[in-house]
């Protein structure tokens, strides 16, 4: 999942570019609504499609320059991801509580631990 946020200024108005973050960072940003505006999340479907169209050749470990048409495809895919995210506002997963296997802790157990 790709989570999209936008920074807020001291007056609470969004400014700057929309940024994408991973799930762990998304939970932190989501819990600081005075600093970040939550846009939404996407599964990366448009970027995966664009990746199939855009291939970067490697020659001896050095990336070739990406042509302007390929950059346009990438930009359009990112714009589509953000538009999809605006309609998909799933709450990021809370990664602060984990079970012994490293997965998210069961909600009932979290409530029990809070009650202690």
pLDDT per residue as tens digits for the range 65-116: 677 888 898 899 999 999 999 999 888 887 776 666 656 656 666 666 666 6
Distance of CA 64 to the CA centre of its chain: 27
Cα–Cα dist 94/28, whole Å = 9
Please give the C-alpha separations between residue 70 and each of 41, 46, 47, in angstroms, as whole numbers.
Answer: 24, 14, 12
> Structure pTM?
0.72
Using the structure block, give the residue that is written with the tokens 């050095």.
Answer: 62
- Number of structural domains, the chain? 1
Cβ 77 vs Cβ 42: under 8 Å: no
Q: Which domain holds residue 27?
A: 2-115
């Amino acid at each position: 999942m790709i989570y999209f946020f936008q920074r807020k200024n001291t007056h609470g108005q969004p400014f700057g570019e929309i940024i994408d973050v991973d799930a762990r960072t998304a939970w932190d940003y989501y819990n600081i609504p005075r600093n970040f505006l939550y846009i939404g999340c996407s599964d990366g479907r448009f970027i995966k499609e664009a990746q199939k169209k855009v291939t970067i050749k490697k020659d001896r470990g050095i990336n070739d320059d990406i042509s302007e048409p390929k950059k346009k495809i990438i930009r359009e895919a990112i714009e589509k991801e953000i538009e999809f995210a605006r309609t998909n506002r799933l709450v990021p997963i809370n990664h602060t509580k984990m079970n012994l296997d490293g997965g998210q802790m069961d909600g009932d157990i979290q409530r029990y631990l809070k009650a202690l």
